[in-house]
């Protein structure tokens, strides 16, 4: 077995390219996965552009589908050859944050006082846009793929399905709720599906790209609104007789965050998925001067093998055409082209698939 592998490596602002790097060896509690499929996330593009800092030389990527190649000591119940996925967030299951029910804020043995500590792949440790990836806390994170599901069908579970669905979950969508989802990129489309899954009777999808709005209908939207054509907040208030029960921010813009607050009814919830790059404002009027009984939640993609098992069970139940979100396949050797296409949102791309 070769001692090196090919991997997509961050090489300074503006450059993610392939490089031969040492193939990792699993230590205690770790597993080595041979990657069979992965994808590129919007966050990876932020890394490429130098907008999110990671160290030079880091292998990027956090959405692995693969096969168990080697198990480190202490990992039980798996075998070489098992087909698995691993969530983008890899909680240890054993720290204060994990044991408190906020596993995405995992402290990996520490106190959990650093936010977003659960996100390690392609952030604080090597990621999965590579031939192999080392999985930390493997016992908590290796999720077996059920027979009958192809790699492409589960590729979106590690991040965008988990993130998208969390909006409805954290927003406590109830049967018969009205939910509006701002922005219908891959995460937003999964949020739309999640709102539908959670029992909303009126799911309103907002975007400006007609193709995305069309896709939103297929992902469960009852009504779609193009913000270029109308005052969407006013229209949402009209459709919902005073404001949506839950508004989901799936873009990461301060202005959208504000629109969400304006779109909910008194007592409503803003469920934020966006990754923001500046301070946010809570307008006094939309916040009823503090007297509106509103709830504002944000979420980092839930991970762990049980989360992945649940998401794959939803894929298996064929509730939505998740697979069609994958619009462009690439080989790992073509990853720079894939980044180029995806980062410029050309050719109607939703998600790419990268096959090592």
172 or 355, CB closer to its own copies? 172
Q: Residues with Cβ < 8 Å from 60, sequence gap 6 or more?
A: 8, 9, 10, 16, 44, 47, 54, 122, 127, 129
Least gap, CB of 20 to its own copies (angstroms)? 30
Of 199 and 329, CB closest to its own copies: 199
**Could you tell me how far CA 96 lies from the centroid of its own chain?**
23
Would you say 168 or 189 has its CB closer to its own copies?
Answer: 168
* Least distance in angstroms from the C-beta of 257 to its own copies: 8
Q: How far is the CB of 6 from its own copies (least distance, A)?
A: 30
Smallest separation, CB 293 to its own copies (Å): 5
Nearer to its own copies, 40 or 95 (CB): 95
State the residue for tokens 């007592």: 267
Question: What whole-number distance in Å separates Cα of residue 121 and Cα of residue 129?
Answer: 10
* DSSP states of 124-148: TB--SSBSEEEETTHHHH-EEPPTT
Q: Please identify which residue in the block is written with the tokens 């075998």.
A: 79
Q: Which is nearer to its own copies, 267 or 348 (CB)?
A: 267
Name 141's Cβ contacts closer than 8 Å, sequence gap at least 6.
86, 87, 90, 91, 135, 303, 304, 305
**For residue 237, how many other CB atoms are within 10 A of its CB?**
17
Shortest approach of its own copies to residue 100 CB, angstroms? 6
Cβ proximity to its own copies: between 11 and 295 the closer is 295
DSSP-derived 3-state class of residue 6: strand
For residue 305, count other CB atoms closer than 10 A to its CB: 22
Closest approach, Cβ 252 to its own copies, in A, equals: 7
End-to-end CA distance of the chain: 16
Q: Report the alpha-carbon distance of residue 241 to residue 258 in Å, rounded.
A: 19
As beta bridge partners, residue 286 has none
Least gap, CB of 312 to its own copies (angstroms): 9
Tell me how far, at minimum, the Cβ of 310 lies from its own copies, in Å: 3
**Among candidates 125, 122, 152, 149, which has minimal Cα distance to 137?**
125
> What is the closest distance, in whole angstroms, from the C-beta atom of residue 298 to its own copies in the complex?
5
**Shortest distance (Å) from residue 253 CB to its own copies:** 11
Taking the C-alpha atoms of residue 264 and residue 193, their distance in angstroms, rounded to an integer, is 19
- Cβ atoms of 207 and 226 within 8 Å: the answer is yes
Q: Which residue, 5 or 248, has its beta carbon nearer to its own copies?
A: 248
3-state secondary structure of 86: coil
Nearer to its own copies, 176 or 348 (CB): 176
**C-alpha atoms less than 13 angstroms from C-alpha of 352 in its C-beta half-sphere:** 27
Measured from the CB atom, the residue of 160 and 354 that comes closer to its own copies is: 160
Nearer to its own copies, 54 or 275 (CB): 275
């Amino acid at each position: 077995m070769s001692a090196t592998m090919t991997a997509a490596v961050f090489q300074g602002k503006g450059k993610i390219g392939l490089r031969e790097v040492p193939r990792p060896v699993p230590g205690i509690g770790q597993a080595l996965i041979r990657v069979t499929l992965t994808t590129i996330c919007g966050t990876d593009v932020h890394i490429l552009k130098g907008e999110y800092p990671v160290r030079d030389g880091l292998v990027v990527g956090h959405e692995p589908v693969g096969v168990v190649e080697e198990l480190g000591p202490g990992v039980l119940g798996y075998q070489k050859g098992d087909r698995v996925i691993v969530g983008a967030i890899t909680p240890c299951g054993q720290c204060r944050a994990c044991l408190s029910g906020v596993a995405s804020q995992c402290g990996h043995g520490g106190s959990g006082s650093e936010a977003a500590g659960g996100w390690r792949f392609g952030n604080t440790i090597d990621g999965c846009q590579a031939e192999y990836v080392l999985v930390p806390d493997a016992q908590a994170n290796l999720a077996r793929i059920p027979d009958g599901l192809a790699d492409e069908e589960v590729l979106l579970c590690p991040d965008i399905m988990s993130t998208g669905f969390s909006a409805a979950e954290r927003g406590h969508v109830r049967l018969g709720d009205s939910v509006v989802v701002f922005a219908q990129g891959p995460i937003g489309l999964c949020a739309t599906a999640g709102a539908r899954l959670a029992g909303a009777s009126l799911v309103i999808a907002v975007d400006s790209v007609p193709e995305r709005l069309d896709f939103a209908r297929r992902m469960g939207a009852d009504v779609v609104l193009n913000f270029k054509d109308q005052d969407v907040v006013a229209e949402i208030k009209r459709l919902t007789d005073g404001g949506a029960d839950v508004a989901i921010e799936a873009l990461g813009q301060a202005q959208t965050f504000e629109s969400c607050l304006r779109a909910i009814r008194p007592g409503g919830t803003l469920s934020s998925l966006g990754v923001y790059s500046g301070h946010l404002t809570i307008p006094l009027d939309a916040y009823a001067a503090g007297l509106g009984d509103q709830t504002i939640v944000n979420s980092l993609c839930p991970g762990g093998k049980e989360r992945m098992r649940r998401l794959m069970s939803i894929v298996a139940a064929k509730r939505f055409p998740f697979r069609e979100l994958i619009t462009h396949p690439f080989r790992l050797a073509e990853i720079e082209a894939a980044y180029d296409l995806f980062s410029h949102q050309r050719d109607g791309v939703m998600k790419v698939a990268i096959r090592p």
